[in-house]
Amino acid sequence: MPRLRWLLVSVLLFAAALPGIAALGLRVYENALVRRTEAEVSAQAAALAASTALVWPGAQPAQVDEAEAPPVPEMSRLDPYAAAITTGIDLRSTPILPERPPALPARAPPDPAALAAAQRIAPALAETKAATLASIVLLDRDGVMVNGRQTGWSLGRLPEVRAALAGGSQTVMRLNSSYQRGWLLHWLSPATDIRLHHARAITVNGQVVGAVLVSRSPSALFRGMWEDWGKIAVGAGVIFVLLLAIAAVLARAIVVPVERLSDATRALAQGRSARLRAPTLEVREIRSLNADFALMAEAINRRSRYLRDFAASLSHEFKTPLAGIRGGLELLQDHGEGMSKAERARFLSNMEGDADRLSRLVSRLMELAQADMARGDSEARGNVAAVLARLADAHSSPQFAVTYTIEPDYPLLAIEEEALETVLATLIENARQAGASALAVTTGHRGRFAGIALNDNGPGVPEADRVRVFDPFFTSKRETGGTGLGLPIARALAESRGGSLELEESPRGACFVLTLPVAG
């Protein structure tokens, strides 16, 4: 089952990576387009240089021995530029030179041989220009143009031309002001306002006799994207579908359970039943949250029932003595003068008894509230042997014997000795009031908890009263002053320390088992 944090981290990482992936993809794609253009102009220049050398006046046909020719790598069958042409332009590192400066007047007229070769190859140049939309300029050995409208003008000072006239070749990137598109478009596609210039030497009979200069704008990013719109559309569609899928997963795993939890919370606040339906796709945190909410709702419902029943019982318990006091007061007010001294004393005695009962009820209610709200001290250590020794000595009599047996190495308990003594004293006193003549206390220890069992030989708890014995105000000794709050107070003290107090089955008498955590 996935964790919520990993789902969120995955989504955030994916969302954060999308712009970088897109920008990186565009830049890589743009760089590939520029390099492809470089390879194309290099190939055109190589072909034009070789063709011009063939028609150059006085050129001797070269003899090529195929047996001595270098082998063509197998890769060249797939990529025609891989074997012979190596690209070197990189948009990230290659400097972009200023726009190509205009040609200057030449110091000497162009080479007649170069002019003748240009005239012969002019049809091929025209066809190449029309097919590739490239600018093609032929230069003699001094860098003077021998074709086009600026024939006789010099480009010899250009670094790429000087490299070619030195017997090599060079490709440079230059600004192309006629295609500038603004900052945003330049950021998306830096190649929109540059032009590639490639110069290559023309070699005849082993001598450099001129150069060919080919320039062309690289394939624009947006043109390339338009050419590959199908692939791009498929990629965008896949990303969109992935986002929808992730959104659906998050909705089922997080949004829907949270909405249901919100509805259940409102229902609980309005006093209605709050039940959560398990989601079809759970994460651990949501499942834990639902489980905690269910426990909270059950605790609130149980507490509400307890408070409702407690209020009803409290009203009933207070109503009887208050009614007695009120009735006595009315009799004394209406007929006090005609009553004898003995009658007045009797009514006052009854009123005093009712007042005493109310006082006991208030005191016990305060004890119950303190026990219910108290939280045990984590450093508390209760010695059962010492507490039982004191209680046995205080409560034992010829009519009621208290005995106890403590197993060896019995641990200290995580409860204050005063609270432990209160709980055990309540149970011992209940056994004595129930008519038992003997009470046996035994202990047991298992793991993190230890138990204390109190079993008397009295009449026991009737079956009909067993489920109500821990209810506040439930007592069978009301006529003798019982408040029905002793056992609820004892249980509250035990539960506030992480333990429990239960009435267990017993073949004779009543058996109460107190369970408390072992002191750590």
Mean pLDDT by 10 residues, the chain (520 residues): 65 69 62 82 91 88 59 49 58 84 92 94 92 91 93 94 93 78 52 84 93 84 61 77 77 77 81 72 76 82 71 66 79 78 81 76 67 66 90 90 90 89 89 90 89 92 84 69 75 87 89 90
Q: Which two tokens stand for residue 97?
A: 């030179």
Q: Of 213, 209, 216, which Cα lies nearest the Cα of 199?
A: 213
- Residue 480 has a pLDDT of 58
Q: Tell me the two tokens of residue 36.
A: 């492809």
Find out whether 177 and 215 touch, Cβ atoms under 8 Å: no
The structure tokens 């107090």 sit at: 501
- Please report the pLDDT score of residue 110 as a whole number: 93
- For the chain, which residues make up each domain, given as ranges? 19-62+86-221, 308-371, 374-517
- Of 434, 415, 389, nearest to 490 by C-alpha is 415
What is the pLDDT at residue 58? Answer: 85
Give the Cα separation of 126 and 250 in Å (integer): 62
- 429 vs 28: CA distance, rounded Å: 89
User: What pLDDT is recorded for position 147?
Assistant: 93
- Give the per-residue pLDDT at 76: 44
Angle of helix 417-433 relative to helix 384-395, nearest 10 degrees, comes to: 40
CATH assignment, 308-371: 1.10.287.130
491 neighbors 469 (Cβ within 8 angstroms): no
Give first-to-last CA distance, the chain, whole Å.
35
324 contacts: CB under 8 Å, gap ≥ 6: 350, 351, 353, 354
Q: Which fold has domain 19-62+86-221?
A: Beta-Lactamase (3.30.450)
pLDDT of residue 220: 54
For residue 105, which phi and psi values (nearest 5 degrees)?
A: -60, 135
pLDDT of residue 67: 55
CATH code at 374-517: 3.30.565.10
Report the Cα 142 to chain-centroid distance in Å: 70
The predicted pLDDT at position 84 comes to 46
pLDDT value at residue 143: 94
How much is the pTM? 0.44
pLDDT of residue 183: 45
For residue 140, what pLDDT is reported?
Answer: 95
The percent helix, strand, coil of the chain (3-state, each to 5) is: 55, 15, 30
pLDDT digits (tens, 9 = 90+) for 149-193: 999 999 999 999 999 999 999 999 888 876 555 544 455 566 667
